Structure 1
Amino acid sequence: MKGAWTMAENALASFSQTGISGILSMAISLGCIILAWWALQNLKLDLFIRHPQSPQGKMLHVLLAIVLGHFVANFILEYIGWSQLLRLSF
């Protein structure tokens, strides 16, 4: 009976860690997208597109922020994962 409780506690702990990891990943991704949006506000899009204030121009701005934010968030999350792997080697 004791073994069943230990397995249940381990399963609950892994679900909790997975949930925390998911929330952390979502928060970092959204934060990086917001940061990319803020940084792209200084970009002069009228040099690249005809009407930067049109709906298509605004959509391009949003998509650029999502793509840039996604790449930055992936780098940060991978860096966190690599640093956790380093802990295991010592």
Structure 2
Amino acid sequence: MVPDFGQQALLSLLVNLSCIVITWWALQAINLEKIIKKGKVIQAKVLLILLTITIASIVSSFFINYLLWSQQLPFLF
């Protein structure tokens, strides 16, 4: 019932990458120019990248864990 490790790894990669893309797209709606100091463009971009990775990691972990837990439910009975 649980997929083999290769399929699980591929699914995890795809979920992580798609969450990164969606998070990056969503964070583009924030107007960072108002809160970033002048001349700190590089730091602002690095912050945006790190924030994207952090949020996407949390979201993708939730979905991957939810999928794995739902596959383990039949073992309860």
Between Structure 1 and Structure 2, the one with more helix by share is 1
Unaligned runs of 5+ residues in structure 1 are 1-15
Q: Is the aligned partner of 1:19 residue 2:6?
A: yes
For the pair shown, the structure with the greater C-alpha radius of gyration is 1
1:78 aligned partner = 65
Give the TM-score normalised by structure 1: 0.74
Deviating above 3 A after TM superposition, structure 1's stretches of 4 or more consecutive aligned residues are none
Moved more, 56-65 or 46-55: 46-55
The one-letter amino acid of 2:15's match is: I
Identity over aligned residues, as a percent?
36
- Which aligned pairs between 1:32-51 and structure 2 lie closer than 5 A? 32-51=19-38
Tell me how many residue pairs correspond in the alignment. Answer: 75
1:31 aligns with 2:21: no
Distance 1:53 1:62, change over 3 A: same
Find the residue that maps to 2:4 and give its secondary structure. helix
How much has 1:55 moved relative to structure 2?
1.3
Contact 1:32 1:70 in 2 (8 A): yes
